[in-house]
Structure formats: structure tokens, C-alpha cells
């Protein structure tokens, strides 16, 4: 059975349809505003989603606490709920936002599972890694964000008889902490993936620089820019800068995004304004 993700868990946005809805609200402005249903349908249709799929996704997200709806005359307006807005802002934070301040503490889980519970042990490790924990040593999971415990509470509650789960705090000197982070998380691989996105963003901007896209094409180009980076950022453990490799490509990917925005932004804003005005005129 597919497990329902919490609203503070970016992994929920791995569903392409849900991610597209969040994108549609986010692209309208830095503060996601309520959008009339026809606008949402138009934006997602421009991304290749059929109207039945759009409406089914909206219904599912309303039931899941992602969206609210309000009738304004003949039109229903939809809005992201506060947790969904926070999540929308957090998805790209690892690459274009500020990282948390390092408080010098790894929050850890020491676990011993009897051999009869091998399947549970594997499931616990898998769930924790997907939730942003790192495996520092066999039997020791760590995170720098104490809030991530809520993402594995269900797994912890299912520990078989004879298991021992102990929450601990680890304090290390800066150099030791940085070395530990490199052991617990695949940071070099993540940095290489981000640099691949930088190259792709630069190529995307260059491909459209001479003839910037307009209309629905501008929306699709921005989606093409954001989708792969968002998918990578969802799996970013969001470590403090003090724990990252020296050559972390934060500034490179930020500048690459800005370059795409310079090329695509004017056409995209004109397209969004036209859709919003057209919807207002039909009310």
C-alpha cells in the first residue's frame, strides 16, 4: 500500500502531477496566490496534462490538505494551504536559498534489530535515508535536522520485539563533523549532479536567448528548467554549509537559474498576465 506523505515532506512532490500543481501556483509569483480553476487548468494543460487529470489531481490534493477551494460566483478559486506553501518554498531552498545554521550536533539513532527482524531493519534504513538521514555506521543513522524524526515515526513504532532504538546526540570538532557528513551522505555525487543541472540550465538559456519563448512555450521552458533540479533537491539532506564539500556549486546553480529567468521571464510574465486578465474578463 502506498504510504501517504506528510505535508512537510518534500518526497510527496515526487508525484509529477502534484509537483506540476505546486509549480503552477509558485510560478505566478513569489507569494503563491489563489487561482481560479480555469487558470489552473490552462497552466497545467500547457504542461501537457489533460483536463480530467488536472481535475482529479486537484480533488486528490484538496482531500490531502494541499489545497483549499472557495467559490467566487461561477468560478471556484483554489489556494495552497500554509503547509503546502511552505513546502513549495522549501523544495528549491537547497540550491537557491539559505541553508540552516550548524549547531554542532548530529541527531542520531542507534539501532539494534534481531536477525529475525532483518526485513524491518532494511525497511527502517531505507525509510530513514529517503527522509534525509545518513547512515554514518552500521546501526547508526544521523541527521542535522531534529524535525526529520516525524518522517520516520511510523517506522520506529513498528520495531519488532527484541529491538533496541536509542536516540543520541553527537558533537564533533568541525573537521570531524565535515568528514562524518561525507561518510553519511553521498555529497560528492550530489554536487556532481547539481553541476550537471548547471550545464543543462546554461544550455537551455543559450538555446532560447536569440528568440525568447512566449505564450505556453515560456511556461514549458521554465518547467523544463525547474523539474530536474527540483527532483534532485527533494533528495538533498539540506546540510548546513559548514558540512558541505569546499567546492559546493551553490553560486553556480543560482546564477544559472537567474540566467534562465532573464531569458524566459518576460515572455512567461506576459503569458501569465494574459491568462489572468482573460479569466477576470469572463467573470
Tell me what pLDDT residue 13 has.
60
Query: Looking at residue 135, what is its pLDDT?
Result: 97
Q: In terms of DSSP bridges, do strands 75-80 and 140-143 run parallel, antiparallel, or are they unpaired? A: unpaired
Predicted confidence at residue 1, as pLDDT, reads: 33
> Is the model's pLDDT at 18 over the cut of 80?
yes
For residue 249, pLDDT over 50 is answered with: yes
Q: Note every long-range contact of 246-249, with CB atoms under 8 Å and residues 24 or more positions apart, other chains counting.
A: 247/191, 248/187, 248/191, 249/191, 249/194, 249/195, 249/198
The matching CATH number, chosen from 3.30.565.10, 3.30.70.240, 3.40.50.2300, 3.40.630.10, for 105-171 is 3.30.70.240
Q: pLDDT per residue over 180-223, tens digit each?
A: 999 999 999 999 999 999 999 999 999 999 999 999 999 999 99
The string of pLDDT tens digits covering residues 141-186 is 999 999 899 989 999 999 999 999 999 999 999 999 999 999 999 9
Please tell me the predicted confidence (pLDDT) of residue 98.
79
Q: What angle do CA 131, 19, 202 make, to 5 degrees?
A: 95
**What pLDDT sits at residue 50?**
92
Q: Which of 13-17, 107-111, 221-225 has the lowest mean pLDDT?
A: 13-17
Nearest to 150 by CA among 226, 83, 81: 83
pLDDT at position 2 is: 39
Whether the pLDDT of residue 29 is over 90: the answer is no
Give the pLDDT band (50/70/90) at residue 9: low
With CA atoms as reference, report the closest residue to 181 among 108, 259, 269: 108
Average pLDDT value for the chain = 89
Among 84-88, 139-143, 146-150, 254-258, the range of highest mean pLDDT: 139-143
CATH class of 10-91: mainly alpha
pLDDT tier, 3 (very low <50, low <70, confident <90, very high otherwise) = very low
Residue 256 is predicted with a pLDDT of: 95
Amino acid at each position: 500500500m502506498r504510504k501517504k506523505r506528510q505535508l512537510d515532506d518534500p518526497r510527496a512532490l515526487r508525484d509529477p502531477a502534484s509537483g506540476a500543481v505546486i509549480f503552477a501556483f509558485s510560478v505566478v509569483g513569489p507569494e503563491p496566490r489563489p487561482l481560479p480553476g480555469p487558470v489552473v487548468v490552462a497552466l497545467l494543460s500547457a504542461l501537457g496534462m489533460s483536463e480530467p487529470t488536472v481535475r482529479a489531481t486537484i480533488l486528490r490534493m484538496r482531500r490531502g490538505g494541499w489545497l483549499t477551494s472557495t467559490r467566487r460566483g461561477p468560478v471556484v478559486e483554489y489556494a495552497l494551504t500554509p503547509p503546502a506553501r511552505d513546502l513549495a518554498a522549501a523544495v528549491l531552498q537547497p540550491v537557491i536559498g539559505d541553508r540552516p545554521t550548524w549547531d554542532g550536533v548530529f541527531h542520531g539513532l542507534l539501532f539494534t534489530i534481531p536477525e529475525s527482524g532483518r526485513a524491518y531493519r532494511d525497511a527502517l534504513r531505507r525509510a530513514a535515508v529517503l527522509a534525509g538521514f545518513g547512515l554514518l555506521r552500521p546501526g547508526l543513522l544521523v541527521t542535522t535536522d531534529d524535525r526529520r524524526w516525524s518522517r520516520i515515526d511510523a517506522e520506529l513504532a513498528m520495531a519488532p520485539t527484541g529491538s533496541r532504538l536509542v536516540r543520541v546526540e553527537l558533537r564533533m570538532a568541525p573537521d570531524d563533523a565535515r568528514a562524518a557528513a561525507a561518510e553519511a551522505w553521498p555529497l560528492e555525487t550530489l554536487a556532481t549532479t547539481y553541476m550537471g543541472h548547471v550545464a543543462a540550465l546554461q544550455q537551455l538559456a543559450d538555446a532560447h536567448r536569440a528568440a525568447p519563448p512566449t505564450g505556453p512555450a515560456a511556461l514549458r521552458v521554465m518547467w523544463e528548467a525547474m523539474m530536474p533540479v527540483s527532483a534532485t533537491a527533494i533528495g538533498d539532506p539540506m546540510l548546513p554549509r559548514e558540512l558541505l564539500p569546499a567546492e559546493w556549486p551553490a553560486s553556480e546553480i543560482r546564477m544559472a537559474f537567474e540566467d534562465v529567468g532573464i531569458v524566459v521571464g518576460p515572455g512567461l510574465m506576459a503569458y501569465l498576465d494574459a491568462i489572468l486578465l482573460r479569466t477576470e474578463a469572463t467573470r
